[in-house]
Amino acid sequence: MSRLKYGWWLPLLAAFVVFPLVEKNPTYTTIGVFTLIFMGCAASWNMFSGYSGYINLGAAVFYGTGAYTMTLLSNHLHVPGSGDQFWLVPVGGLVAMIVALPFGLIALRVRRHTFVVITIAIFFVFQLSAINFSFTGGTSGLSLPLIPWLVTNFNTPFYYIALGIVIFATLLSFAVRRSRFGLQLLAIRDDEDRASGLGVKVFAVKLTGFVLSAFAIGMCGALYAVFEGQIYPQFVFDPLFDISIALMAIFGGLGTLVGPLLGALVLESMQQYLTLQFSNSSLYLVLFGALFLFIVLFMPQGVVVYVRDLWTRHSLASDDDSTSMDPALSGSTLS
Amino acid sequence: MNGTAVLHSIIDGVLTGSVYALMATGLTLIFGVMNIINVAQGILVILGAYLSYALSVHLGIDLFVGLAITIPTLFVVGIVVERIFLSRIKGPERVVMSILVTYAIALVIEGLLNIVFSANYVELHAWYVVRSVRVFGIWLPYIYLLGFALAVVLLGALYVMLYRTRFGASVRASLADQTAAALVGINVRRVSTICFGLGVAVTAAGGMIYGATNAFNANSSYDLISRLLVIIVLGGMGSLGGALVAGIMMITIEDLVSVVWGPTWSNLSFFVILVIVLSLRPQGLFGQRSVRVA
């Protein structure tokens, strides 16, 4: 059972590792890098919001913080554009965590639906600050040291670092899911008052999860900054980023391990491809919104859970052995 | 900075704030009755503005006369959205799902508006938009006064409907306790649908005033919705009076900050106030702390 359950990760991982070796067209490897960046963000976002039920629509704060940390540090420390900047990627994640602490202290004081609204508000504080402060370069943004690599190989290091972040975020999410801490997050999602009554330190648990989820998102933002070579406040602090990763996670299955990865893989690659084909982002907005509405109305628990339920029903019909369901894992989705 | 500028910004803030209060009242009414946060409210305001724009540019209909068409149109849009999408959201995660569903609806509308009207900024034109009148020694465009009057009339109508009619009594009962309301024979489903329609319909008026006082495109909806959300959270989610007070208060403060420190900081002040108020009073200014929220 467990071999069947985890065995399919390996070929999938192999496919991701091999992709840039097979596909040499920079257009498509660029799509690959962006898709992986979003997969990392969605997996990390899900680790807090999916498990605890506190939907964070201000995750772009972490992303933008990572991007600005990378840009400002590499400019002020005069890091040459030779790949040395990659060492600053984890720093971007750490600074995002530091920013997440006061953010969480304020936003987590309230219950879920108000939390969502406050995260949106705090997000706009950051976006406006990035536009208004002088050290961020305002709306004209900031550029990073130029990386003098050939176009043909330019994407490869970014691709593998992004893949590393995705693997890290997934393993962390898995570890949290299996830990006592993860169960406390799930208990908060299911009934916060009862969890509190049973001795879960709800505020501390929520804050820890919130800060922890900032790390990988901050790293993704830092990597994005190096990849683009130029950042603008309206693109690194983008309200569409907030909603996109939430939709990706829900598309795949909120609170599941694979769901956000699948959601980001499908939706981000689709967006990049459509933008490339039609150079019309408005059309994408319509499709994206419509697809999401379809998912919510017909598969409210996400594609992964929908397929798993179909599969379970199928195997239940063939043999009556329903005892092998792991209650801890089968309860991993929002009802 | 001088006295006249401060007085100007206060008058300006109260006049514009009343329009925001109107839009926020729609939002808080929807939340109070249905437990749904309608994130699409911002883009619906823009839709209302574009409808007024289309009517005035293509058919030459006056902005205020056009409201006779746009308000019922958006009421129907609200009813349709509620019936098709929102009434299907069930389960304990309804509030959160409603945010995401309305966000998705907003994305669809935003994309469509971009395709139909392009992303270029437009403005609504009429004689009262460009001409000004002198009030207390301050020149104010007529549209600010007319917008204020419109907001007052509509808020008054909403108030009369809510507090003086039988339907209003069922709405207030549903606001207070849905289950109890259903038990005394109120058709909560029907009340919800109509409330959503009403909450959306006010955006037609708000959008017309917004479009006449600001250049807008579909992207302006983000700015709008973030302000409206701050207003209803500050006022206390579901509190009608709170939305009114917070709307006027926030826009006035924003205008004052803009005069005293400069316009770049005025947006920021909005959110800083929110953060401070919520740290002290998590339920908002007029909200009631719920005993138990699952």
Mean per-residue pLDDT, A274-293? 79
Which pLDDT score, from 0 to 100, does residue A319 have?
Answer: 60
A167 pLDDT band, cuts 50/70/90, is very high
Which pLDDT score, from 0 to 100, does residue B285 have?
Answer: 76
List, in order, residues 6 or more apart from A54 with CB less than 8 Å away: A48, A108, A112, A115, A116, A188, A206, A210
Mean per-residue pLDDT, A103-117? 83
A53, A122, A282: residue with CB nearest B275? A122
Q: Is the pLDDT of residue A298 over 50?
A: yes
Give chain B's end-to-end CA distance (angstroms, integer).
49
Mean per-residue pLDDT, A46-65? 92
- State whether B100 and A250 contact (CB < 8 Å): yes
Give the closest residue to A192 by CA, choosing from B285, B290, B274, B286. B290
Query: Which of A30-39, A101-110, B124-133, B147-156 shows the lowest mean pLDDT across its residues?
Result: B124-133
DSSP character at residue A16: H
The CATH classification of domain A2-330, taken from the options 2.60.120, 1.10.3470, 3.40.1800, 1.10.150: 1.10.3470
Range ranked top by mean pLDDT from A203-207, A311-315, B265-269: A203-207
Mean per-residue pLDDT, A303-315? 81
Rounded to whole angstroms, the Cα distance separating A74 from A96 reads: 16
Range ranked top by mean pLDDT from A80-89, A133-142, B212-221: B212-221
Mean per-residue pLDDT, B257-269? 77
A129 versus A195: the higher-pLDDT residue is A195
Are B46 and B216 in contact by the 8 Å Cβ rule? The answer is yes
A145 pLDDT band, cuts 50/70/90, is confident
Range ranked top by mean pLDDT from A122-131, B17-26, B27-36: B17-26
Alpha carbons within 13 A on the beta-carbon side of B73: 18
Mean pLDDT, chain A, rounded, equals 83
Q: What angle do CA B243, B247, B248 make, to 5 degrees?
A: 125
Q: Is the pLDDT of residue B191 over 60?
A: yes
A175 pLDDT band, cuts 50/70/90, is very high
Mean per-residue pLDDT, A79-101? 87
Q: Is the pLDDT of residue B292 over 50?
A: no
Which pLDDT score, from 0 to 100, does residue A5 have?
Answer: 61
pLDDT in tens, B159-188: 888 888 888 888 888 877 778 888 888 888
Rounded to whole angstroms, the Cα distance separating A306 from A327 reads: 17
Q: For residue A196, with 0-12 CB atoms within 10 Å meaning exposed, 13-18 middle and 19 or more buried, which class applies? A: middle
Exposure class string for B51-70: b at 16+ Cβ within 10 A, else e:
bbbebbeeeebebbebbeeb
Mean pLDDT, chain B, rounded, equals 83
Query: Residues of B with CB below 8 A from A296's CB?
Result: 85, 89, 97, 100-101, 104
Query: Residues of B with CB below 8 A from A129's CB?
Result: 268
Which pLDDT score, from 0 to 100, does residue A166 have?
Answer: 94
Are A222 and B205 in contact by the 8 Å Cβ rule? The answer is no
Both tokens of residue A320? 């009556």
- Nearest chain A alpha carbon to B266: A128
Which pLDDT score, from 0 to 100, does residue B49 have?
Answer: 92
In A178-197, the residues whose Cβ lies within 8 Å of chain B are 191-193
Mean per-residue pLDDT, A12-28? 83
Query: Which of A212-221, A293-302, B44-53 shows the lowest mean pLDDT across its residues?
Result: A293-302
The domain spans of chain A are 2-330
Rounded to whole angstroms, the Cα distance separating B32 from B183 reads: 18
String of DSSP letters for A151-200: HHHHHHHHHHHHHHHHHHHHHHHHHHHHSHHHHHHHHHHH-HHHHHHTT-
Q: Are strands B138-141 and B132-135 parallel, antiparallel or unpaired?
A: antiparallel
In A211-270, the residues whose Cβ lies within 8 Å of chain B are 239, 243, 246-247, 250
Handedness of CA A174, A176, A177, A180 (dihedral sign): positive
Which pLDDT score, from 0 to 100, does residue A332 have?
Answer: 44
- State whether A113 and B294 contact (CB < 8 Å): no
- State whether A55 and B101 contact (CB < 8 Å): no
Q: For residue B4, with 0-12 CB atoms within 10 Å meaning exposed, 13-18 middle and 19 or more buried, which class applies? A: exposed
pLDDT in tens, B42-98: 999 999 999 999 998 888 888 888 888 899 999 999 999 998 888 887 776 777 778
DSSP character at residue B129: H
Q: For residue B174, with 0-12 CB atoms within 10 Å meaning exposed, 13-18 middle and 19 or more buried, which class applies? A: buried
In B241-270, the residues whose Cβ lies within 8 Å of chain A are 264-265, 267-268
Which pLDDT score, from 0 to 100, does residue A327 have?
Answer: 43
Give the closest residue to A90 by CA, choosing from A161, A9, A4. A161
A279 pLDDT band, cuts 50/70/90, is low
Give chain A's end-to-end CA distance (angstroms, integer).
25
Mean per-residue pLDDT, B193-217? 89
In A64-103, the residues whose Cβ lies within 8 Å of chain B are none
Three-state DSSP state, A230: strand
Rounded to whole angstroms, the Cα distance separating A300 from A326 reads: 22
Are B93 and A302 in contact by the 8 Å Cβ rule? The answer is no
Three-state DSSP state, A142: strand
Which pLDDT score, from 0 to 100, does residue A246 have?
Answer: 87
Both tokens of residue B217? 């495109």
Are A69 and A222 in contact by the 8 Å Cβ rule? The answer is yes
User: Please, which residues bridge with residue B122 across strands?
Assistant: B216
Which pLDDT score, from 0 to 100, does residue A97 have?
Answer: 94
The percentage of residues in chain A with a pLDDT greater than 90, rounded to a whole number, is 30
Phi-psi region of A78 (alpha: psi -120 to 50; beta: other; left: phi over 0): left
